[in-house]
A and B are shown apart, each in its own frame.
Chain A
Amino acid sequence: MIHSLFLINAAGDIFLEKHWKSVVSRSVCDYFFEAQERASEAENVPPVIPTPHHYLLSVYRHKIFFVAVIQSEVPPLFVIEFLHRVVDTFQDYFGVCSEVIIKDNVVVVYEVLEEMLDNGFPLATESNILKELIKPPTILRTVVNTITGSTNVGDQLPTGQLSVVPWRRTGVKYTNNEAYFDVIEEIDAIIDKSGSTITAEIQGVIDACVKLTGMPDLTLSFMNPRLLDDVSFHPCVRFKRWESERILSFIPPDGNFRLLSYHVSAQNLVAIPVYVKHNISFRDSSSLGRFEITVGPKQTMGKTVEGVMVTSQMPKSVLNMTLTPSQGTHVFDPVTKLLSWDVGKINPQKLPSLKGSVSLQAGTSKPDENPTINLQFKIQQLAISGLKVNRLDMYGEKYKPFKGIKYMTKAGKFQVRT
């Protein structure tokens, strides 16, 4: 199982280490540093690195490498999933997960890590339970602690671990009972030069924020559950019920959690809400090139496309770009060669465009590769796959909760080739 965990910052310093079994020397990380040196960018460090006696599995999040050390044959996904859980927990506790924050809260971090694994076996990884064991730091609590001399360690043991619903703590009480569900869909797509779709798929999630008293039992039904043929559920969802009736039935965890994630890949179901018209040309003879992009809405079901952001990695030989946008602001960084254009809202009557010229390094031939355009956007009140929640019912408790559903469509990895 998992032996040790090292946290390494971008500069290559080990700033935190935790051992669940015997101590593994820091020098084991030298193999990791070697691999890091070989990789051109931090993202490209291979996730599994063998060393003579151990294996190093790493994830790279928030500019920190989380490196787990294992000694025997352990499913690598198990370890990587666990590392993700560690990152999520830190983020949950401290709001952001960065070197500074971790160093500031080093005591809480150690306490949390101690509770997450026992001898390398996962012990309590649900944030609900962890928060009961070790209270997350808040300003108020810090002040109180300094005055009274108490700490963040909870004075009771997690009762949830004993129940049949380990994800929910007992004795929850709220004055306002509310349950919110966000249906968020991300479109991953590759669009080719001519504007036709090469691949498109939707990664959807339903994130919930449930603050309900007692032990509520919820059911959520959809208008068109047939859309969901490739789903992953939170452990609280009763799978049998879904199989037979296509209804989500569950006792929710307290607070924020991801109820469900789904995947729609059938090409005809994926509508592409925006299009990009582009004309980027580098000429061989002169050191100037032309650059023109226009962004427009396509299938948006009458909703506004907002938060549009266009980024593109220009070839190395581009020296500078002289561009004028019809709206929004643009920046070209001559060092990283990254062009970004913050467009904002798309007005269908007056399409935003960015025009101008590109100056190339003199004496070099025209670049071989064409820049790929990366697009970000948001559409409120629309789930692009057409998924709609029918109704939400609550059983097991007497009060009437306040319910809310929100839809949103976002661009995931949305790339246009030129």
Chain B
Amino acid sequence: MQTDNLELKKLVYLYLMNYAKSQPDMAIMAVNTFVKDCEDPNPLIRALAVRTMGCIRVDKITEYLCEPLRKCLKDEDPYVRKTAAVCVAKLHDINAQLVEDQGFLDTLKDLISDSNPMVVANAVAALSEIAESHPSSNLLDLNPQSINKLLTALNECTEWGQIFILDCLANYMPKDDREAQSICERVTPRLSHANSAVVLSAVKVLMKFMEMLSKDLDYYGTLLKKLAPPLVTLLSAEPELQYVALRNINLIVQKRPEILKHEMKVFFVKYNDPIYVKLEKLDIMIRLASQANIAQVLAELKEYATEVDVDFVRKAVRAIGRCAIKVEQSAERCVSTLLDLIQTKVNYVVQEAIVVIKDIFRKYPNKYESVIATLCENLDSLDEPEARAAMIWIVGEYAERIDNADELLESFLEGFHDESTQVQLQLLTAIVKLFLKKPTETQELVQQVLSLATQDSDNPDLRDRGYIYWRLLSTDPVAAKEVVLAEKPLISEETDLIEPTLLDELICHIGTLASVYHKPPGAFVEGGRGVVHKSLPPRTGSSESAESPDTAPAGVPAADQPSVIPTQGDLLGDLLNLDLGPPVSGPPVATSSVQMGAVDLLGGGLDSLMGGGSGGFAPAPGTAVPSNTGAPLGSGLGDLFDLTGGVGTLSGSYVAPKTVWLPAMKAKGLEISGTFSRQVGSISMDLVLTNKALQVMSDFAIQFNRNSFGLAPAAPLQVHAPLAPNQSVEISLPLNTVGSVMKMDPLNNLQVAVKNNIDVFYFSTLYPLHILFVEDGKMERQMFLATWKDIPNENETQFQIKDCSLNADSVSSKLQGSNIFTIAKRNVEGQDMLYQSLKLTNGIWVLAELRIQPSNPSFTLSLKCRAPEVSQYVYQAYETILKN
């Protein structure tokens, strides 16, 4: 080993690496040479020695490794330092405790500020790998100085080093938009790198920091433009790279469709692309489809539908249907394309086409029914359950227009027991629909199917549904008609969109396995290790306006959103169609506001069924108490105020009196007034609904638009009995804060939609911020001090609270009731200083300093918070609480 022949030395080292494990005692004897080689004048030998030593996984040797490693980490030669940095990661893998005890982690952190870019890159790589097994430790705690170092190193290190550095940068949270912009500017050149992994990591950093930039900025637009070409270039690479790139582009397109909206053509499929690339391209094509390019897209899709690969053809046909649903103007063309495809008589094409035409019927009712005849011609060729079910649904739904509907359905009935459950259920529903539409001729048929479903079937779903229909039909055919033939909710435009919070998390993981699987890392990374959830930074630009509607993923302003609130009837209707695929964009809705009569008719069977299935009948949350105010129309408001006297004065934070949110004039006679309250940790919206119209109101439902803090109803709006004219009902609707988040202007704006049997009404209201102050908002003193110092001074805002005559103690107890906690009280030169903290439901801490002068009725309030835009609303909350 002590030879000077380099080749021999290498070979001996290699031998040691492989056999040290089986002969640990012998291997120890080599330690001395390693230690000696670590002091060799030739830096390359020093590096080779430390590299090899790290690869020997024998505990006894590892102990001796520490000293040479420490020296090498501080070696004068960058090549040795660079190798030593990786060696720390190796050692950590063998013995984590040792690495921590020996303080190697700190040395490694120091290497981030090394003068040599390669050393920096390797140090970052080693730290990232170590951090992965220690998610809690703040190994990569970055500050603006170290970020600067990294950015400098980024320009000079190898491609692999650039990937490590970019991935590390993506975890940094810039303090404001200016810093974010300057980082973006320095990362942008990486988009022209030849290595696709570098490009994608750079895209990740940019996508993440872009979130902080104001959309009005010129730079924002420039950046958007710069992102498109590199993404397009990735698609000309080898298929494996294309696949990973496409999976990521799929996310990017959902988050920021504007980047690639003009690049549709690069996603056109070449016939010799591997199947996994084809399917991904198709998916993105549909996401990018818009009125402007729909003609091109359809022509392509039609082309694909004649290809050889069955899976791809099926997906292409489905895609045509999705286009029709997404771009209304194209629906007609899509339908005619589908009809052309049906004419080809290729079995699987026809079947797919029928499945998607069913969706088109649901989206655009009463528009394309003329094609039904063509569909019926192909009835016999359908052999897949999904297509059969779709066809049966169409026949049942449009039974009145199909002359021989009964014959068609009867033909299916012959082999009823051989069909799959999906088809059986659909057949049952379709025949009941047919019966309700043409009762005279089909009585025999319906009896036959009911007996087949209830008596001869082992499937509980089928049996139960059969019984429901049977009872409905035998007790009250009119009610049955209302239930079975109820209007169905429209289906949503975009299918399989990723949920926004998950999407945001995935955007932070662009270029990783998580982004390939479209699952958060926690869902599949090897168990045992906690995974740090990453989130997009909040936007900090002060000139921020509310997001324009066209950038909202759904692309629909709230007012036009179809089927926000399905009614009770819809839900049942939906229940009937449940097994026919497409997701419905409706919230879970009360299952209990069926007219009382109907409930009686359905009898105990249904009652228990529904109770067991959905818990909808349990009157636990948000119980409504109908009370007839008996007041004449005009004076309802006064009475309402009286009513509130009894409510909301329990323990809990301050509750403002109810105000009218939706005047009766604007809502066809429905008046809504209300307020927000917080009691023992739960937020609720206390509503009074008053019927000032002349007709009975029923089927109430409520939904919130996305808002700044994710407020959403925690339970459906339950109004048990229909609301008679001149009657009002008081409801406490529990809320939670797990809904989707969108920044509103003003911040505490809440847009609400309420539906009843008459119409859908929209109104917006402001909620006081203190309902969001959580009970555990008391900060430790030390923590408070540290945080106060840590938040930059420009985030501090001062307010005056005028005309308040309370003393410090009563102020603090009053505020405590609303979850604003006093941490310390000091008396400075006759003034009382209260130091307070509070925490919002989304985890934002607000620190406050309240200065009270005994003689002066106006207080000075200084607020410090990392998200300064909330300060103003916190101040408003203070004022409201203190003055009431």
Contact = CB atoms under 8 A, between A and B. Distances in A.
Interface of A: 1, 21-22, 39-40, 43-44, 46-48, 50, 53, 55, 57-60, 71-78, 80-81, 84, 114, 118-119, 121-122, 125, 151, 153, 155-158, 161-162, 164, 166, 188, 190, 192, 198-199, 201, 203, 229-235, 239, 243, 258, 261, 263, 265, 313, 315, 368-370, 372, 374, 413, 415, 417
A-B CB proximity, top 8 nearest:
A230-B229, A157-B44, A77-B197, A47-B240, A122-B160, A232-B194, A199-B265, A78-B197
A70 B363 CA distance: 45
Interface stretch (B82-90, B798-806, B854-862, B864-872): B82-90
18 contacts: A39-B275, A43-B239, A74-B512, A77-B244, A77-B245, A80-B197, A114-B14, A118-B83, A119-B89, A151-B7, A153-B7, A230-B229, A230-B232, A233-B192, A233-B193, A263-B229, A265-B232, A368-B306
B241 A80 contact: yes
B268 A199 contact: yes
A76 B192 contact: no
A81 B526 CA distance: 24
Given A80-B196, A162-B77, 12 more contacts: A73-B521, A74-B513, A81-B195, A118-B51, A122-B158, A122-B160, A157-B42, A162-B78, A231-B192, A235-B194, A372-B271, A415-B270
A198 B268 contact: yes
Contact of B276 (A47, A234, A265): A47
Interface string B187-200: 00100111111011
A119 B160 CA distance: 14
B244 A76 contact: yes
A246 to B, nearest CB: 13
B244 A121 contact: no
B201 interface: yes
B132 A369 contact: no
Given A201-B236, A235-B158, A77 B196 contact: yes
B344 A75 contact: no
Contact of A232 (B167, B193, B238, B243): B193
B300 A198 contact: yes
**Interface SS majority for chain A:** mixed
A121 B78 contact: no
Interface string B254-279: 00000000000110101110111000
Interface residues of B, number: 84
Nearest to A43: B274
A153 B200 CA distance: 36
B160 A47 contact: no
Contact of B86 (A44, A121, A315, A415): A121
B132 A72 contact: yes
A31 to B, nearest CB: 14
B167 A75 contact: yes
A203 B236 contact: yes
A250 to B, nearest CB: 13
| Most A CB within 10 A of own CB, among B44, B299, B525 | B44
Contacts of B307: 369
B305 to A, nearest CB: 9
A253 to B, nearest CB: 13
A384 B159 CA distance: 31
B429 interface: no
Contacts of A119: 54-55, 86, 89-90
Nearest to B10: A153
Contacts of A53: 526
A265 B245 CA distance: 18
B194 to A, nearest CB: 4
B43 interface: yes
Contacts of A166: 118, 158
B160 A76 contact: no
Interface of B: 5-7, 10, 14, 42-45, 48, 51, 54-55, 57, 77-79, 83, 86, 89-90, 93, 118, 122, 125, 129, 132, 155-156, 158-160, 163, 167, 189, 192-197, 199-201, 229-230, 232-233, 236, 238-241, 243-245, 265-266, 268, 270-272, 274-276, 296, 299-300, 303, 306-308, 344, 346, 511-514, 516-517, 521, 524-526
B194 A413 contact: no
B129 A1 contact: yes
A87 B397 CA distance: 59
B306 A370 contact: yes
Contacts of A235: 158-159, 193-194
Contacts of A313: 271
B251 to A, nearest CB: 14
A119 B303 CA distance: 49
B524 A50 contact: yes
Contacts of A46: 243, 276
B274 to A, nearest CB: 5
B240 to A, nearest CB: 4
Contact of A118 (B10, B86, B200): B86
A229 B513 contact: no
A78 B511 CA distance: 9
A53 B528 CA distance: 12
Nearest to A188: B236
Contacts of A192: 299, 303
Contacts of A265: 232, 265-266
A232 B525 CA distance: 33
A370 B344 CA distance: 13
Given A46-B276, A198-B300, A121 B43 contact: no
Given A47-B244, A73-B525, A369 B158 contact: no
B160 to A, nearest CB: 4
A98 B89 CA distance: 35
Nearest to A87: B238
B244 A73 contact: no
A86 B801 CA distance: 69
Given A81-B196, A198-B268, A230 B303 contact: no
Contacts of A84: 238
Q: Give the one of B89, B194, B229, B296 with max A CB within 10 A.
A: B194
Contacts of A60: 240
Contacts of A44: 274-276
Given A80-B241, A232-B233, A235-B159, A190 B79 contact: no
Given A43-B239, A121-B125, A368-B346, A78 B160 contact: yes
A181 to B, nearest CB: 16
A201 B516 contact: no
Contacts of B129: 1, 72
A73 B189 contact: no
A162 B43 contact: yes
A186 to B, nearest CB: 9
B269 to A, nearest CB: 9
B839 to A, nearest CB: 31
Contacts of A75: 163, 167, 197, 200-201, 511-512
Contacts of A158: 44
A157 B49 CA distance: 13
A81 B545 CA distance: 42
